[in-house]
Amino acid sequence: MTLFQNKYRIESARLQGWDYSKQAAYFVTIVLKNREWLFGEIVDDNMIWNDAGRRAQQCWADIPKHFPHVMLDVSIVMPNHVHGIIFITESGTVGTVVPPVSPVPPVETQNFASLHMPTNMPPPISSQMPYKNCFGPQSRNLASIVRGFKIGVTNWFRKNNNYNMIWQACFHDHIIRNDASYQKISNYIVLNPENWQEDIFYKE
């Protein structure tokens, strides 16, 4: 877990010089305000959703309906945060990129050791990438995708629980650069419920 706490889960500004509408694979973590347990609890190393957790999972699964250039990979809705891998495809390639696994409900795939990055996804970030502080078109960049998910869940809370602010303001992201990184992150997401009490987001 230390590797992920130190490398993948430090909250900061987006990577300067990277276009977040660019075709790539992204590891995203979205955390609830004050790390409050609103989505359920871990019982015997399994995530048990309440109604809010089920709604959060449905909103996550619905992301491609609102952003057709997006494909989803392994994900997990935890008691107070959400992990997921998001693939953004290039304009004009929607529906042509084959993900490493079909979009799945959270952590129902136990054969995670066999997961691989798709061969037609973008190569690792080049050291010669032109430097520019560009987030890409607002309708299709990573921040817009996360914002849309947050809004969907927040609207449910406002209607059913009278909550108005449930999320931390920012989110964590990591650009997945190669198959080894993808494999490590996928395994981490799958094993997150088992390692819950050691998690950086764990709070009694």
Per residue in 22-38, pLDDT (tens digit) is 788 999 999 999 999 99
Tell the residue number behind the tokens 């009278």, with chain if given.
162
Looking at residues 122-128, what average pLDDT do you find?
37
Question: In whole angstroms, what is the distance from residue 199 CA to residue 184 CA?
Answer: 16
- Contacts of range 113-116, beta carbons closer than 8 Å, 24 or more positions apart: 113/183, 113/187, 115/73, 115/74, 115/182, 115/183, 115/186, 116/179, 116/182, 116/183
Question: In whole angstroms, what is the distance from residue 180 CA to residue 116 CA?
Answer: 8
> At residue 126, does pLDDT exceed 80?
no
Global model pTM greater than 0.85? no
Q: In this structure, what DSSP letter does residue 167 have?
A: B
Which ranges of the chain would DSSP assign to H, the alpha helix? Answer: 2-7, 51-61, 63-66, 142-160, 179-191
Q: Model confidence at 19, in pLDDT bands (50, 70, 90)?
A: confident
CATH numbers and ranges of domains, the chain: 2-198 (3.30.70.1290)
Please indicate whether residue 77 or residue 203 has the higher confidence score (pLDDT). 77
Question: In whole angstroms, what is the distance from residue 12 CA to residue 14 CA?
Answer: 6
pLDDT for the residue numbered 16: 60
> At residue 104, does pLDDT exceed 50?
no
Looking at residues 123-150, what average pLDDT do you find?
60
Please indicate whether residue 164 or residue 183 has the higher confidence score (pLDDT). 183
Contact (CB, 8 A) for 100 and 117: yes
pLDDT for the residue numbered 169: 87
Please indicate whether residue 85 or residue 139 has the higher confidence score (pLDDT). 85
Contact (CB, 8 A) for 166 and 56: no
